[in-house]
Amino acid sequence: MKIKFWGVRGSIASPGQKTAKYGGNTSCIEIYSEEKERIILDAGTGIFPLAQQMLSIMPVTCSLFISHTHWDHIQGLPFFTQMFIPNNSITIYGAFDPVFQKNIEEILSRQMEYCYFPVRVTELMADIKYNNIFERQTINVGPFSVTPILMNHPVLNYGYKIESDGKSVFFTGDHEKPYNIYEPEDDFYEEYEELIAQKNQNIIDFIKGVDVLIADSAYTTEEYPSKKGWGHGTFDTSIHMALKAGVSNLYFTHHEPTRSDEALEKIYKEKLSEYSDKLGDMKLYLAREGLTVEVT
């Protein structure tokens, strides 16, 4: 099983000299093996360069799993060239929105209405199927099994565990460690504290021992208080999650769009030093656009 990062920024694409090394495209990850079937996690702007590369392997059969439908995770979909080409087969998976009562097809189709994009869904030439999926429902895709779990974000967000041939990868999508919304003196504080502990433990149990964890690490601990409730993790919360779950390799992703390559590397080096006596065999990496990882 191989992983290739096509977009690792969060919130908005941020191209330029200061982000050239790690990349400015938003969330998109490709997972594949020697077989033809491919899995794509999220359809941020990174899906466009992926689409260009996939033109060399026509016809295309792929499955696209959407973590959630915020712009930075879907805005590249109208530019996924494979949808315009006959004989391609694309299956899109995502959650039903319980707030607005819309399925994944309805939500994604909205951004291809004429007021947003010149080509409508009905004009696409590929064979495109949409599937609403539910928490812990396992989907078999070629040599892979994909299982979602609910994470913590202001909109319903799935983290995805992908397994194949005894190897496993988990992608958090956007995730903020759940916190208590009550003060210690409030009536419901202790009850809510138990719910939070259970939710965190459910996630840890779900990802226990995965070979690769790709985690939303948008902020530093110092930045987090002013971003609380925005639905994103920190470098430290990602490391703590990985340590508790006994993960082998942790890739920090969803890089804050205003953070330069130089600033990313500074934080990374600080974390390597800070946790040097706690990591054991676990390895830490900065996700980088164009990086290919073989899961062994």
Q: Given this model, what pLDDT does residue 34 score?
A: 78
CA distances from 247 to 18, 204, 208, 210, 250 (A): 31, 10, 7, 5, 7
CA distances from 172 to 42, 111, 152 (A): 11, 24, 9
Query: Would you say residue 36 has pLDDT above 80?
Result: no
Give the total number of structural domains in the chain. 1
**Greatest Cα-to-Cα distance within the chain, rounded to the nearest angstrom:** 62
Beta bridge partners of 127: 89
Query: Would you say residue 61 has pLDDT above 90?
Result: yes
Q: Given this model, what pLDDT does residue 296 score?
A: 86
Beta bridge partners of 7: 28
Total residue length of the chain: 296
Q: Given this model, what pLDDT does residue 83 score?
A: 97
Please check whether residue 67 is in contact with residue 28, taking contact to mean a CB–CB distance below 8 angstroms: no
Q: H-helix or E-strand containing 214?
A: strand 212-216
The 283-286 sheet, strands edge to edge: 139-141, 144-150, 158-164, 167-171, 212-216, 249-253, 283-286
- Which band of pLDDT confidence, cut at 50, 70 and 90, is reported for residue 69? very high
Please check whether residue 156 is in contact with residue 147, taking contact to mean a CB–CB distance below 8 angstroms: no
Closest CA to 60 of 32, 29, 28, 94: 32
Q: Given this model, what pLDDT does residue 37 score?
A: 80
CA distances from 15 to 26, 52, 71, 263 (A): 10, 18, 17, 15
| Alpha carbons 10 and 257: distance in angstroms, whole number | 6
The backbone torsions φ and ψ at residue 77, rounded to the nearest 5 degrees and listed phi first, read -60, -40
Write out the residue range of the structural domain in which residue 240 sits: 2-294
Return the residue matching tokens 């929105």.
Answer: 97
Q: Given this model, what pLDDT does residue 130 score?
A: 97
Q: What is the CATH number of the domain that holds 186?
A: 3.60.15.10
pLDDT tens sequence across 10-21: 999 999 999 999
Return the residue matching tokens 């719910």.
Answer: 195
Q: DSSP letter at 192?
A: H
Average confidence score pLDDT of the chain: 96
Return the residue matching tokens 């059969």.
Answer: 61
| Alpha carbons 90 and 75: distance in angstroms, whole number | 17
Span between the terminal Cα atoms of the chain, in Å: 8
pLDDT tens sequence across 174-201: 999 999 999 999 999 999 999 999 999 9
Q: H-helix or E-strand containing 251?
A: strand 249-253
| Alpha carbons 18 and 118: distance in angstroms, whole number | 32
pTM for the model stands at 0.97
Query: Would you say residue 35 has pLDDT above 80?
Result: no
pLDDT tens sequence across 88-144: 999 999 999 998 899 999 999 999 999 999 999 989 999 999 999 999 999 999 999
The backbone torsions φ and ψ at residue 32, rounded to the nearest 5 degrees and listed phi first, read -155, 170
Query: Would you say residue 156 has pLDDT above 90?
Result: yes
